Amino acid sequence: MNYQQTIDYLFHHLPMYSRIGAAAFKKDLTNTIQLCEALGNPHTKFKSIHVAGTNGKGSTSHMLAAILQSAGYKTGLYTSPHLKDFRERIKVNGEMVSESFVIDFTERIKPLIESIEPSFFEITVAMAFEYFAQQKVDVAVVEVGLGGRLDSTNIITPELSVITNIGWDHMNMLGDTLEKIAGEKAGIIKPTIPVVIGETSKETKDIFITKANECNASISFADQKRMAADWKHEHHFLNVEVATKGKEDHQHYQLDLAGEYQTKNLITVLEAVSQLRLKGWNIDEAVLKKALSQTKEINGLHGRWEIIHQHPTVVLDVGHNVDGIKQIVRQLEDTDAPHVHIVIGMVKDKEVSAVLELLPKDASYYFTKALIPRALPEDDLLLKATEAGLQGETYTEVNIALKAAMAKAKKEDLILVCGSVFLVGEVELSG
């Protein structure tokens, strides 16, 4: 098989959550363990940092990887899903895995695929671990795919566990209360391994403390150690002033990830780095600051309040659940654009009505869908949006919707594309 044939095989032969939803989610680690045993347990051959959470885990993982790489460590990064290219999921020092490795790995593991019928995600996790071991990385930052306890990545024993926050998402699989969702995410806490919780919540705090105590693991809540005292945008950068508990001096950080919600991820990252330093990792403060200002450049993170066009301003954001949309709406409230145009598409298994209720009533809407089976048809989205008091037209795919928005928008207006990672990934407009 060539690369395209290999990717087609992986996408269409294996159950893929992003395409078909919950049916692809395997509720135990058996397949991942079996795959990795067949490969000689590659996940035991490198150190790792495990990152879970409802929102922010992708940005947090990319920031941590940028910092570790800049500090001189050969750094692997595993994230999901991808926006444009499957290989975005697996990187070493910011470089995507080679096409030849993807082909060779898939050919080698094919008999086992036919035998145990793993999911797409289980295969990609095993592929990432094998690549990191082969590349002899010093450390890999590993983002949880879904939940934590039963996620395929949860066979690692990391240097540090990080849980960014807990919100309403994937309730059909993780539970219908924040406590149940937190219990699933807390499944990444390992015996004696320190854990950082990004955002403290009264509903979930005791869940994490209890699990950490059971595991004899030290636990720290990032937002109880530091806070973003102030922030402002300057030329596509977010300048953040951070106050540390017990210290009078504030630290200043510049992020090349412009969304205001990145202030929360920054606080999580700073506490994670603090814990890594306690374990002997050599991360200089000047190196850390430089890495944070170059995260996109180093690791190619896209779709987080990403401005891709000016006059009108076109912004891409992968926010898609209630908490993610709340953050986007806060950002929209701070914009000085005279009018906002929102291109939106969602998947069927999200809290669609709850998300639509949050969006501004005075924006112009362009309802569309990603080209995947899970996508909610644009006409169904329009019906739900009308119930929420939103008005707009329907379009069969995102680029047609975006072109319509560009035609209607004035130069000073803002166009936002959001609602689904897959929708953002299909945007072709650039520059």
Range list of H helices, 135-204 = 171-174, 178-185
Alpha-carbon distance 406 to 313, whole Å? 9
When pLDDT is cut at 50, 70 and 90, the band that residue 16 belongs to is low
Residue 167 reports pLDDT greater than 70: yes
What does pTM read for this prediction?
0.92
- Cα–Cα separations (whole angstroms), residue 60 to 125, 198, 264, 304, 343: 19, 10, 9, 12, 26
Sheet of 392-394, strand order: 306-309, 313-316, 414-418, 340-344, 364-367, 392-394
Q: Say which residue, 348 or 273, is predicted with more confidence.
A: 273
pLDDT of the residue at 20? 43
pLDDT of the residue at 397? 96
C-beta of residue 130 within 8 angstroms of C-beta of residue 25? no
Residue 267 reports pLDDT greater than 60: yes
Residue 175 reports pLDDT greater than 80: no
Residues 49 and 157 in one domain: yes
Residues 276 and 310 in one domain: no
CATH number at residue 219: 3.40.1190.10
When pLDDT is cut at 50, 70 and 90, the band that residue 17 belongs to is very low
244 belongs to a structural domain: no
**Identity of the amino acid at 71:** A
What is the percent of the chain where pLDDT is above 70?
94
156 belongs to a structural domain: yes
67 belongs to a structural domain: yes
**Identity of the amino acid at 411:** K
290 belongs to a structural domain: no
pLDDT of the residue at 11? 86
The mean pLDDT value for 10-31 works out to 65
Residue-averaged pLDDT of the chain: 91
170 belongs to a structural domain: yes
**Identity of the amino acid at 163:** I
Per DSSP, the residues of 145-161 read: SSSSTTSGGGG---SEE
C-beta of residue 381 within 8 angstroms of C-beta of residue 393? no
Q: What angle do CA 414, 417, 421 make, to 5 degrees?
A: 155
C-beta of residue 175 within 8 angstroms of C-beta of residue 144? no
pLDDT of the residue at 15? 62
**Identity of the amino acid at 118:** P
When pLDDT is cut at 50, 70 and 90, the band that residue 172 belongs to is low
Alpha-carbon distance 220 to 302, whole Å? 29
When pLDDT is cut at 50, 70 and 90, the band that residue 341 belongs to is very high
Note down the domain range covering 364.
306-425
Residues 38 and 92 in one domain: yes
Residue 180 CB burial class (10 angstroms; 0-12, 13-18, ≥19): middle
27-31, 109-113, 142-146, 293-297: range with lowest mean pLDDT: 27-31
The total domain count for the chain is 2
Residues 263 and 384 in one domain: no
pLDDT of the residue at 189? 97
> Which of 13, 53, 10 is closest to 201 using CA atoms?
53
18 belongs to a structural domain: yes
C-beta of residue 359 within 8 angstroms of C-beta of residue 338? no
Residue 94 reports pLDDT greater than 70: yes
84 belongs to a structural domain: yes
C-beta of residue 335 within 8 angstroms of C-beta of residue 363? no
Residues 416 and 270 in one domain: no
391 belongs to a structural domain: yes
Residues 209 and 352 in one domain: no
Residues 138 and 220 in one domain: yes
Alpha-carbon distance 315 to 303, whole Å? 8
- Phi–psi pair at 227, nearest 5 degrees: -145, 150
Q: Is the dihedral of CA 167, 172, 175, 176 positive or negative?
A: positive
Alpha-carbon distance 292 to 70, whole Å? 10
pLDDT tens digits along 95-106 = 999 999 999 999
